[in-house]
Chains A and B, each alone.
Chain A
């Protein structure tokens, strides 16, 4: 083959495997070798993508995939290697959630998402770096080491699914799972120039995801194209009786939905009739000029494909930040109570009485950002503050969702805007100012609070050649439509095909 194996995406690899040009075992071996060469886990020249690699376990899975094919099985994902964010628990690899609290922890079961992808034949390459318990947007809050942006190793890759974005962008893996609570798939996908989708809340089971904020957490995919995302999302999603919040819907063929032509569409104008809403609040003066410029180019491309751009308003966009930073820490403070040093995870030794065991184990095991959010969350749930903070935030959350509903009912089919106000920043640049980090989530939080599906699609490059992402937000369960729009854009442009040096 002319291109190298590691340059191929999921769909292409599926075809190469199906035509027996390559075996799953060879493919896994190639990517493991590339990982060993580029991602040695320490030093400023390392990508810092993986937290756990186990070549034996990967190759065993690859051999099983080859055996399944020899036994007559087929399928677009059979033998395709992928990697998992270290938020998904796995039997065969340790799961840390990027925290010292869980260093060396081995789950006795696989997350539903992991299980379903394995059933579809994927081969796991390893576990990917992330901000501790998915709290952060730079991957600097990994308790082990930061992941680095392959477009510029001195910059952050975004977070919390930073390792996932790095692995896919640096061609260490054709695709990876991620999780998104307030933008953790979309923002690193944008910063690393790849495609990421966070589906509607409830589309993917949360069973086996180390919980951060239960009412917001959602699994998704990060890959190099909309088509690759569609293939993986179809395999990993669907109702799961082990998650009471998972949506009871029949299995979806997202690739078919992505390819299905719209009414009134033509080959040159596949998006004819599609109304794309541009919220005024998503294009404020503070939006970096290079980001704005790149987005305008992508929007022009969409217009050329037949879409109509319409002005809309999401008036409560700015409220999303305080609302999110009340609700998410509140849920986190409770979700993280189980890490108490009693049954598993870090236990401080020596310790005094029970209270001392709790205090020491949790102070040592949790990093500063996690502790900060536990304190915030505990505060807003406390007696006398609950109504003023948590209950108020829940009311505003509903109003934010209503803003979207109104837009979709009256003005547009899809909403578009930036993923982040700027391109990726330098490692260490903001570590003294957590609020600065929180403010940068402004464009991703609203869709998370409303439970809506969102995508980040490569939209060109900004300052210093760094990638810019276009965010697409759809109606509930409109993943197929978002993928359709992204696919149309990717058929007409090549931003998603560019790779870092």
Chain B
């Protein structure tokens, strides 16, 4: 059957599942779904957009997609920056934002279970009403969905102490590429009173879907650990003369179990850039900045925060750091944690490509140097920002270009590929599957082979977000 007719028939059958109004193949709608926040990538037209209302509906759609061998691309808030949710081979975009119920705030097990389309802002509101907390705020908290963030294993303010979102997951409900529905973790046992343990029934099946961009299945529910909201915060900025000092400081914070929720190292141009964009709004005074600045927030129980602050001061002093007495900087970052990065990313007129990755804490300087070198080599503007994420530093360097400068865009693409290669060489890693890393991951022959084998077994018709394994 020709594709057009096949799609027409498929659309009709999907309409029978989800209802007429939740399916669209109108050209204007398809255009709107041909892009996401991935401004550094091309657009790709899907054939159909569907907004399912339940896991069961998702499963039925996936079964049909198998029958017709049509790709299916799950999409959350459309906030992915690296071509994660684009219909690179056409097919069905499954917009999961309609599934936005907070299913269970389980105070007994200290977990919350949400449908795929719940945003971080919505979750924060619901938990706040009970004095509870989910501690990670990705940079797109106001628009990103929880399941989408799990599919990219995101991080943000809060990650210094709590890691990437993967660290906080207790279990998932997933529609497999062949349409079966599984629940992972303790809830795989239907008699479980809720999610309370991720590593149940042997191997970590949950982990298979974290950072998978939906290539191994569609996450329709996520269960997360929840905590009591912090009662006390302390915002402090430290200055260091050398990168080594700043890195050692972060390592010491980890070693000494300091309750640091958010920490960033700023240097030179990126510091100036940030202050120019947000300094006034955050009330940051004009000061002589040292070469390296650590802006951080500690938070939690009052007695612990007070104690940790004292200890942190002595650690800083011991390794040559000084408290710059500029609490406004980290306070601004923390208070604005749901959108500080969005502001810093869009207040200027640039388009950009981003290269999310993790660097070992003690190689922060090497990663930053590598980014700077590549920017310089290609004559590009950009930055080396990132944030502490558990035992690693989560970099999100931007490579800038103007939207209508095609030449610069080509340069950005080349620089981006070179940077990916160089970063892997110094020990950095991506935290998700992503088209632009695939070229590099392929070089890890056996590892990549294993991934492909899993993919083939789970998804024999290769319909689940096949773009993930296509090189950029």
Q: Do A and B bind each other?
A: no
List residues of A whose CB falls within 8 A of some B CB. Answer: none
